[in-house]
Amino acid sequence: MLDPRRLRTELDVLKKGLARRGVDTSVLDRAAAVDERQRHAVAKRDELRSQINVLSKEVGEAFRSGDKATGERKRDESKTLGEQEKQAEAEAKEAGDELREILLRIPNIPADDAPEGITAEDNVVVRTVGFDERRYDAHQRVPHWDIGAELGILDLERGAKLSGSGFPMFRGAGAAMLRALCQLALDRNADAFEEIRPPTLVRTETMVSTGHLPKFEIEAYHVERDDLWSIPTAEVPLTGQARDEILDADALPIRLMAYSPCFRREAGAAGRDTRGLLRVHEFDKVEIYAFCTPEQAGDVHAELLARAEGSLQALGLPYRVLDLAAGDLGDASRRTFDLEVYAPGADMWLEVSSISWCGDYQARRANVRYRTADGTAMVHTLNGSALATPRVWAALVETYRQPDGSVRIPDALAPYMRGVEVIGPPPPR
């Protein structure tokens, strides 16, 4: 959420920032008008309270001096002002609630160095690592959904039977490889990140704290009976667990990581974008996360990116780093680097991680602060996928498919695979 004080001091700056996203900036004019109305009501309320306090003293003095008529008259004046004060208080609250509702739906302001542009086509490829299209043979040009079915490690039909399309089911070595990917990501970051296993269902205010509500309600899964939400990413509970807290500045940056299942109502165009594991509603992910000061944010952002790249390098997967254009940023982000792996069977670059710096946008929603010499200030939050399994899994089985149709396990995963080094055809059932 944007700092409402900036509506009074930096309205033009905010408008320029939103315009870079391709957002209608008139919402800021509306917010500024509501902010002015709230401040006027608050000023009126405070002035009336001051007058009431003065009158209360005068009433007491009048009665003590025996001037009953004056005391009763001033008491009636105080009652009248009291009604006006209640009305002003109601107007201030109404305007404050309206302002918060508006601000909750306004996205963050892009960083100055975020690339210009409003679509994914405007994203900038920063670097490509390990990719050579000529290295792939015909046996690697088979899509993972066919490989998975052939080897009995991916059962999309039974997943759909259980839960509908977009809910894949993994079997045997395929399920083991999914778990192995998560454990690899946790182990690679355990040197500096505290492991958290957060709840998978969270309250509404927890979803609001990261910007996933109210704007993206249609994309989330809601358990209405209990008013709980299935998390779309562990970023949500990792942010929310510090809600309304003041952190020790000396402890910053605070680095956290979490494995969790994630749930999203992903909607894609019909056709190849929805085949196999390209776009699913449930998946496993290891999130890396940090609270820090504004001065630490740049270094922490670079660290999260390097750690996410390290996992892909360990797996031997070609990948590229994209610097997202202002208009393609997530609503909470000021600057994001996406990591995409190449899947030769699907012949696609697949996004597997977004490493985002959110500034104080989420912290302001969640009221997470740290102590300073002058009081308190909002922390900055950063998040990213150390490894998101479905698309990495897809790229792995396509990249490591052998001429005989088997899939070789990358060396980095071998310690987690119970001795399985090659996934071959399943035994007859």
Nearest partner of 209 among 162, 232, 165, 243, judged by Cα: 243
Is 351 annotated as catalytic?
yes
DSSP conformation class of 252:
P
CA distances from 303 to 94, 192, 406 (A): 43, 11, 36
The CA distance from 211 to 105, in Å, is 8
The CA distance from 390 to 372, in Å, is 42
Longest pairwise C-alpha distance within the chain: 108
Q: Per the residue annotation, which of 20, 21, 264, 307 is the catalytic one?
A: 264
Is 264 annotated as catalytic?
yes
The CA distance from 112 to 119, in Å, is 17
Is 30 annotated as catalytic?
no
Chain-centre distance for alpha carbon 62: 61
Q: Per the residue annotation, which of 98, 351, 406, 408 is the catalytic one?
A: 351
Q: Per the residue annotation, which of 45, 279, 307, 369 is the catalytic one?
A: 279
The helix (H) or strand (E) run that includes residue 46 is helix 26-64
Sheet of 375-378, strands arranged across: 246-247, 369-372, 375-378
Degrees to nearest 5, angle at CA 213 with 207 and 219: 100
**Sign of the torsion angle spanned by Cα atoms 365, 367, 371, 376:** positive
The DSSP secondary structure of 80-126, one letter per residue, reads: HHHHHHHHHHHHHHHHHHHHHHHHHTSPPPPPTTSPS-SSGGG-EEE
Q: Per the residue annotation, which of 354, 364, 365, 398 is the catalytic one?
A: 354
Is 165 annotated as catalytic?
no
Question: Helix count (H) and strand count (E) of the chain?
Answer: 12, 16
Cα radius of gyration rounded to whole Å, the chain: 28
The CA distance from 358 to 101, in Å, is 20
Sheet of 254-263, strands arranged across: 124-129, 319-323, 335-343, 348-357, 380-388, 282-292, 254-263, 194-196
What are 349's two structure tokens? 């670059």
The CA distance from 130 to 399, in Å, is 12
Q: Per the residue annotation, which of 255, 365, 369, 391 is the catalytic one?
A: 391
CA distances from 41 to 7, 29, 103, 222, 295 (A): 17, 18, 19, 37, 37
Q: Which residues are catalytic?
A: 264, 279, 351, 354, 391
